[in-house]
Chains A and B, each alone.
Chain A
Amino acid sequence: MAKLRRIVQVLFLLFFILLFIKARYPYDEVKLPSDLGLRFSPLIPLFDFIDSWSLSLRYWPALIILFLTPFLGRFFCGWICPLGTTIDINSKILKSPSNKISKKWQKLRFFKYALLVSFIILAFFSINGWGYFDPLSIFNRALSILLYPLATLLVENGLLALSDIPFLEDAAYGIYDPFKNHIMPEGQAFYQHVFWIGLFFAFILGLEKLSRRFWCRNICPAGALLGFLSQFRFYERIVGPACPVCNKCQVECKMNAIPEDDISLTNKAECIECFSCGEVCPPKYKAISYRWRWKPYHSPVDYNRRQFLKTSAGSAAAVGLLSIGLVNKDENDKMIRPPGSLPEDEFRDRCIRCMECVRICESNGGCLQPDRIHNDITDLWLPVAVMRSGYCEYNCNLCGQVCPTEAILPLVLEDKKKVPMGLAHFDKNVCIPYARNEDCLVCEEHCPTSDKAIKFDIREVVLPDGSVKKVKYPYVVKDLCIGCGICEDKCPLIGKPGIFVNTENQRRLTKTQLA
């Protein structure tokens, strides 16, 4: 069983990576929607339910997992979760200590339940905290912002460096070309907040130095939800009379789910059904077997009423603190969201910060970035359009098609071309024609609307030598501008652009408006 589990783990890991790689132009939604992987998250239906008071079949992978969990236990954590698999691989590298040493952290088990409860309370106040801690979201975020760009950096530059060596040139390009065509067609991605997203991911992996699956044992809110549901699970580990109590299984258990004082029991809220216990049981005894039992015993979750009350009080305080921060209009106007985003409050509530839209945008205009903190901490890692380093591709509507929670609505292309993300403004202090009386019009050239939103006046100016010259002075027509930002991106000034987009005139849609 443990061998089969490992194979399944690797297959699911590859499956999630494949879905991730598929999230790019050209995108074919019909065959295999690339946000399907994210919809495996067991937390999504719960929080979607709190938001909309209905269960959406859109999250069918998660619903199947949730349905099976009371019977099978936390099999998702042991067999499917890509973050769990990554952690397993990593713990081999970091050489995690056995349970003899790591059992001292056992008292932290309550923390994952506390986090889950706290996120549920926040969700009732429409504050999304769980998205940051959702394992699928974390995995996708790490792939998008850290691993894929790093891989591009390594492979591309490695091969290009090889191609500089004369006799290796053909060989290097021979690898480079198919690689660029099929695996990494985009150019190098550059993201803001790489450090913080990297730190968060490194922290999760680094915890393996303290115990195996530290994250899954003590922090993961999805693990908490599944643990809560598997207290009575029917599929049990049976320890036969042949057991010499060598404690090998107890020491090796990834989740420390076998109590030290009675190894015939299993903590069902912790066990992730990795079947390693059966594997490490010495073959001469073969004392461990697994069976369905229709009168299962109950193992309670490690979370008591006192802890619950403390969590609730803490969460209430957090809601209060998140509500009294300054809302600076000057910062608000920089928060340009992808086209088709829900109204801001609802958008922030539904976005799980998985970076799927940021990722697919990178293979197009590349305007989307993980957001920084503008006013309060929940600004963090929402998708934000930073037009100076990318722009919204006129013929692209892919961000809405890959959003797992429909925080960005799937607009049809013709609609997307008409929904303004913001409005372009000239900064006449630096814009070349205004500041220096020289022609430029790069913004006008790139403006994609078929009646250009940037128009120009031709006016005569007197130059220092007294001669007269005609110069083209551009301006924005508000009704035509869709705020795609290609003007800002392509502005030839080396720093501050002569034209920039802000959230003025943005249009946000609700699902009912879409229908």
Chain B
Amino acid sequence: MKRRYFIKTITAGSAAAVLPLSLTGIGKLYAQKAPPDAVWVSNGEPNDLVARALKELGGMSRFISKGDVVVVKPNIGWDRNPSLAATTNPDVLAAVIKLCYEAGAKEVKVFDRTCNEPRRCYNNSKIEETAKKAGANVSQMRNNKYREIKIDGRMIDSWEIYEEYLDADKVINLPIAKHHSLSKVTLGLKNLMGVMGGNRGSLHSNFSQKIVDIDRKILPTLNIIDAYRTLVANGPQGGNPDHVKLTKTLIASPCIVTADKLALELFGHTINQVEHIRLAAEQGLAKYDPDKANVKRVNLG
């Protein structure tokens, strides 16, 4: 018993000695060398969430170079008010746009292929108004501006993608975290459907494989998941304020799979329950091993 007690004390003691070190000294050193693979910022207002997340990731200039044409792709899919959490929070979007310009972006473009009438969605979601104020070029998508690209996936051979998205220097994927009946959740991977042309309804059978096929070819530079408000039921349209949870969270990662997998915590799902994220991880869409990703968690509260 004595020996066991001795070992315990030693372990606890060394742990106590190492822990603060790793939190301060080593942590700092590590942060200077390589930023985390993903950040989870909670308990803040949209502006602070975005500012902190990008600071932790090493600043927007790590992703955006001077003179870049940047596409920020929010979710404007529905004719809903921001408080109903069916569309990306306009303040989060505005903060991201401003950071892009501060990093030297030449132009920030914002668009989405909507499900309801486009002008209604752009308007009611407050995205057009807010993004324009932040200096972005907000436009309705034009039918003649889709370009068919080779996919060569397991189920999709080729698909039409919006030209301005393909031609952009950098892309920031900015979904809102929502419940979805077919795919369980809609996060970064699914948000990219907003730049896909053609009959998107037909993607819904064998959805997971098809979305992984196409997404592989159009992966963004950076993924920021807006979970300031989270829609937890009746998604992806919502409509009932009771289904909206004020989660005040933002998740950001250059890796779409890591970001999506992290965001599953908001819903209490594991990656095995959400087929399209699991397939994306299995089929190599992740930049890091999502299980071993270095995640920095910051509580602003």
Mark A residues whose CB is within 8 Å of B.
25-26, 160, 180, 185, 187, 363-366, 393-396, 432, 436, 438-442, 444-452, 456, 472, 490-492, 494
Contacts and interface: CB of A to CB of B under 8 A. Distances in A.
A394 B84 CA distance: 15
B153 interface: no
Nearest to B243: A450
Chain A contact residues: helix, strand, loop or mixed: loop
Interface stretch (B2-10, B42-50, B90-98, B231-239): B231-239
Nearest to A448: B237
A456 B181 contact: yes
Given A439-B207, A444-B181, A446-B237, A394 B79 contact: yes
Given A439-B205, A448-B237, A450-B240, 15 more contacts: A26-B119, A185-B119, A366-B117, A394-B116, A436-B205, A438-B205, A438-B206, A439-B206, A440-B201, A442-B204, A444-B181, A445-B115, A445-B236, A450-B238, A472-B181
B201 to A, nearest CB: 3
A363 B140 CA distance: 14
B141 to A, nearest CB: 11
Contact of B144 (A160, A491, A494): A160
Nearest to B84: A450
Interface residues of B, number: 29
B182 A26 contact: no
B196 to A, nearest CB: 13
Given A432-B205, A492-B204, A395 B120 contact: yes
Given A365-B117, A395-B120, A441 B234 contact: no
B247 interface: no
B117 A439 contact: no
Contacts of A395: 79, 116, 120, 124
B221 interface: no
Most buried by B among A394, A440, A445: A445
A461 to B, nearest CB: 14
**For the complex of A and B, 4 pairs with smallest distance between CB atoms:** A492-B201, A450-B239, A450-B240, A438-B205
Contacts, number: 80
Contacts of A441: 181-182, 204
Given A451-B240, A472-B181, A472-B182, A446 B204 contact: no
Interface in B99-144: 115-117, 119-120, 123-124, 140, 143-144
Interface in B199-217: 199-202, 204-207
Interface string B185-208: 000000000000001111011110
A452 B205 CA distance: 20
A13 B119 CA distance: 28
Nearest to B238: A450
Chain B contact residues: helix, strand, loop or mixed: loop
Given A472-B181, A491-B201, A492-B199, A26 B123 contact: yes
A440 B205 contact: yes
Interface of B: 79, 115-117, 119-120, 123-124, 140, 143-144, 180-182, 199-202, 204-207, 234, 236-240, 243
Contacts of B79: 393-395
Contacts of B202: 492
B201 A442 contact: yes
Nearest to B242: A450
A25 B119 contact: yes
A304 B81 CA distance: 64
Contacts of B123: 26
Contacts of B181: 441, 444-445, 456, 472
Nearest to A391: B116
B200 to A, nearest CB: 8
B214 to A, nearest CB: 16
Contact of A445 (B143, B144, B182, B206): B182
Contacts of A366: 117
A447 B201 CA distance: 14
Contacts of B240: 450-451
25 contacts: A25-B117, A25-B119, A25-B120, A180-B140, A185-B119, A364-B117, A365-B117, A393-B116, A393-B117, A395-B120, A439-B206, A441-B181, A441-B204, A442-B204, A445-B115, A445-B180, A445-B237, A447-B237, A448-B239, A449-B239, A472-B181, A472-B182, A490-B115, A491-B201, A492-B200
A53 B116 CA distance: 42
A456 B204 CA distance: 15
Nearest to B241: A450
A444 B238 CA distance: 12
A447 B238 CA distance: 10
A77 to B, nearest CB: 38
Most buried by A among B143, B200, B205: B205
A160 B180 CA distance: 37
A448 to B, nearest CB: 6
Contacts of B144: 160
A438 B201 CA distance: 13
Contacts of A180: 140
Given A439-B182, A445-B182, A364 B120 contact: yes
A446 B238 CA distance: 10
Nearest to B117: A364
A393 B237 CA distance: 13
Nearest to A433: B205
Contacts of A363: 117, 119
Nearest to A366: B117
B205 A446 contact: no
A491 B200 CA distance: 10
B301 to A, nearest CB: 30
Contacts of B243: 450
Contact of A452 (B124, B143, B207, B234): B234
A95 B176 CA distance: 63
Contacts of B205: 432, 436, 438-440
Contacts of A393: 79, 116-117, 120
B123 to A, nearest CB: 7
B204 A451 contact: no
